[in-house]
A and B are shown apart, each in its own frame.
Chain A
């Protein structure tokens, strides 16, 4: 028997409480002389004995109660060895087994034949990659070939215990067995078999070690296997090496990134490994190139697949409206250098007609004065509520009504003749003439608009962190409005002074504009990378569907449906930006907390052989959601809790009767 939550066993110490009370009660009794206990002896068999027994019963029941409850909560896991059971032989065929014709493999084959000869008739089938033997009860070979395994295992591979766990579980369900004994011939270069045994409650794994040393070290392949992780800023490369014994191997991994080759030393444990994030979190910029590994013999294996996947944390800008000249001027400001050095990723800048789907991946949309269709209007509002930034550019005074409607919906202001109240500007840094500048008459109701905090962000030299309206130098006005939980909206009053044609000539303007775009994209910068991001959970569950309950900081809970893959990992796409309560803490370009996620339940599949949905709770910490818990089987804990309930009932009855009797006796 093992326990899935052994921490609860600490509760067993509570058993000492009734014992202490019992002994303290015994110490509290008074010793007195009495003339004769003759009559008491006559009633001893009834009242006194019964009383003593009940005292003991109470002690036993209370102790039992305090023993049962922690054990039940610790989720005991029993293997029923009497249930219908079969034996199979699994031969490890991983790279560390030296390939099909290596010495270790040959040794494994020899051991396998000896084992089968000794246990002929007792072994149901032999599992290994690509081959399978099936025996009848009398030992006759019924089947020999590949298709059996293919039938059982769609993946056709048993390289890692994670996969064989799911294979075995599916197979057990399929053929209707409750208990499986696995005889495993392996070099045990991976310690995960122990975990596999725990994850399969009704499977016993018996190891048959095979040893051998291979002289040749060969790299069998390099692959980038986990794109979602890459999207989260972590590069994961799976490197399969040939068997190199039991020693770690030191080599280096090359990544061509941004036209530059980065070489990082890596230590690969026996049997190959997963290499995670050799360059650390990748947060912005493009990555293009390949990964290569060089072995000790100087043989290089590489993956030549170019990693053209953009890092989504990089703001993705969509330009809406404007003339070709205006758009290119914006581009010249945003993307002044080749693509590898840019800070921004500009999409659709050559499209004159933007459709709503173009905004799906947008971080910021720059909107020139142009007619905006109703559909696009709604799409902008929708994405804005999810965190997309908006920069309105008043490049000319003729503002289309649909553009004005959009600005009103976004920032709650319309063009008008009113001026900004003097109380909302810092006069110490704002020339008095600026307060009466004609540009301020563009909007009315600007009192409801937050003055540009962005200036503080930009650390404008003369602002010293305060709001500044410096129109005397013909600088544009930025008005910022943020909806709760949504993105930021900025308005560049650039249509009059200075003309856009002068932008590039003004040395202070370009960095200001770039920073303003970054600022508008800053919220989305956090959310974009997380919208649709996968939460990887090492959850083992026989079901294939699950419901995650995402708990947001405001206490609301949103169910999100996810799926388990065949390896038992669960994926869920979390749309953080949909929820106003969602927040992300970002520290040094690395997300350290997303939200509190709770896997509240898993859907039960009717043919899941009595496995119950489990409840798993894990804390915050992006990338740390490695919950490992396996099913506790059909109800040992439930039975124990029922017994505990019964104990409580009996305890209540006895205590009640004692109390009534004592009251009568007084």
Chain B
């Protein structure tokens, strides 16, 4: 049994315990990982010495110069990280046996907060739907983490997904350069999402957008004829999944590509996760994104 499997994690009621298990499990496996955490910042290259671990070799430079160099990092302290979590109605969706997207995002946010706090980084929390719902400034203390976890556990999903206005509001409230991690299903029109992300990225923040989707959202629920009720708007639509599945996947893929193309121009990274993915791989993806930034 994988301790980081969402199904296993979802059985743990205490959010702090969840976060601790995930982070410790993640850290235990980190020795195999080339990543050093959020606060590690690249500083310089130096020539490779025979005693240097091979994981520090910059293979790209080797590819260009045919000479071995290793990367040197400088630990950065007190990075201000804002975790934005979408609490719109669509985040309350889950298919049979899975966590809701909000639950998944909550657990992931708690894990990130726990991990960041261990690195003495300041973590803040923002919950939003079509407006700001929760605002906790970044902090590093244990009490701050407790308060943040309590707020996370109280989050419920309702309302519509906000885009430009909400993101602009959030960007204005984050004063200095820092890191912003968005946990959302991005269930908003793409043409609205792109300017919102642009607005957020314009504040020199490092932006990591994690799209969380349920498996049913990727390939539609099974059934002959379904009457779907939108969790955000309450409107109904009758479909025959077998007939529209291909079109739906095509539209969904196109929206994701548009978003990826748009984000590529900013200092931002998109990560796509599913509610059935284990948290270890998600954390790894986030750290990989961090390195690419």
Contacts and interface: CB of A to CB of B under 8 A. Distances in A.
A51 B224 contact: no
Contacts of B233: 37
B239 A35 contact: no
Nearest to A661: B243
A422 interface: no
B243 A47 contact: yes
A29 interface: yes
A84 interface: no
Given A38-B187, A48-B239, A43 B224 contact: no
Interface in A234-249: none
Nearest to A658: B243
B246 A34 contact: no
Nearest to B223: A30
B237 interface: yes
Nearest to B228: A34
Interface of A: 25, 28-44, 46-48, 51-52, 658, 661-662, 664-666
Given A38-B189, A48-B239, A51-B244, 6 more contacts: A32-B221, A32-B223, A35-B93, A40-B237, A51-B239, A665-B246
A666 B93 contact: no
B245 A30 contact: no
B185 A35 contact: yes
B160 to A, nearest CB: 9
Contacts of B232: 35-36
A40 B245 contact: no
A662 B241 CA distance: 9
B230 interface: yes
A48 B237 contact: yes
25 contacts: A25-B225, A29-B224, A32-B223, A32-B228, A32-B229, A33-B228, A34-B93, A34-B221, A35-B89, A35-B92, A35-B214, A35-B230, A36-B161, A36-B187, A36-B230, A37-B233, A38-B189, A40-B244, A43-B248, A47-B247, A51-B240, A52-B238, A662-B240, A662-B242, A665-B246
A409 to B, nearest CB: 79
Contacts of A51: 239-240, 243-244
B280 interface: no
Contacts of A39: 248, 251-252, 255
B245 A665 contact: yes
B287 interface: no
Contacts of B90: 35-36
B247 A29 contact: no
Nearest to A51: B243
A35 B231 contact: yes
B176 interface: no
Contacts of A666: 242
Contact of A48 (B161, B188, B231, B244): B244
B228 A40 contact: yes
Contacts of B247: 43, 46-47
A665 B235 contact: no
A32 to B, nearest CB: 6
B142 interface: no
B226 interface: yes
B188 A37 contact: no
B252 A664 contact: no
Given A37-B235, A662-B240, A29 B225 contact: yes
Nearest to A663: B242
Contacts of A47: 243-244, 247
A43 B223 contact: no
A35 to B, nearest CB: 4
Nearest 8 pairs between A and B by C-beta?
Answer: A665-B242, A35-B93, A29-B225, A35-B90, A34-B228, A36-B187, A43-B247, A31-B227
B145 to A, nearest CB: 30
B199 interface: no
A29 B238 contact: yes
A536 to B, nearest CB: 62
Interface string B161-196: 100000000000000000000000101110000000
A428 to B, nearest CB: 83
B229 A665 contact: no
B101 interface: yes
Nearest to B239: A48
A281 B201 CA distance: 112
B217 interface: yes
A38 B188 contact: yes
Interface string B239-281: 1111111111001100100000000000000000000000000
A35 B188 CA distance: 11
Contacts of B251: 39, 42-43
A33 B231 contact: yes
A32 B216 CA distance: 12
A29 B244 contact: no
A35 B248 contact: no
B224 A28 contact: yes
Q: Which of A32, A33, A35, A666 has the most CB of B within 10 A?
A: A35
A28 B224 CA distance: 9
A33 B235 CA distance: 10
Contact of B237 (A28, A41, A46, A658): A41
A7 B227 CA distance: 43
B252 to A, nearest CB: 5
B185 to A, nearest CB: 6
Contact of B230 (A34, A43, A46, A52): A34
A31 B238 CA distance: 9
A662 B223 CA distance: 12
A37 B228 contact: yes
Contacts of A665: 241-246
Nearest to B242: A665
B136 to A, nearest CB: 26
Nearest to A43: B247
Contacts of A46: 247
A394 to B, nearest CB: 91
A51 B248 CA distance: 14
B243 A33 contact: no
Contacts of B223: 30, 32
A31 to B, nearest CB: 4
Contacts of A30: 223-227
A42 B223 CA distance: 21
A112 to B, nearest CB: 70
A29 B241 CA distance: 11
Nearest to A28: B225
A501 to B, nearest CB: 101
Nearest to B255: A39
Contacts of B227: 29-32
A34 B101 CA distance: 12
A656 to B, nearest CB: 14
A31 B224 CA distance: 11
Contacts of B238: 29, 52
Nearest to B227: A31
A25 B227 CA distance: 13
B248 A44 contact: no
A225 B16 CA distance: 116
A35 B185 CA distance: 9
Given A47-B247, A664-B246, A34 B229 contact: yes
A321 B245 CA distance: 100
A250 to B, nearest CB: 75
A588 B230 CA distance: 83
Nearest to A39: B251
A40 to B, nearest CB: 6
Interface string B144-172: 00000000000000000100000000000
Contacts of B243: 47-48, 51, 658, 661-662, 665
Contacts of B239: 40, 48, 51
Contacts of B225: 25, 28-30
Q: Which of B216, B231, B244, B251 has the most CB of A within 10 A?
A: B244
A586 B244 CA distance: 73
A664 B245 CA distance: 9
A6 to B, nearest CB: 39
A34 B237 CA distance: 10
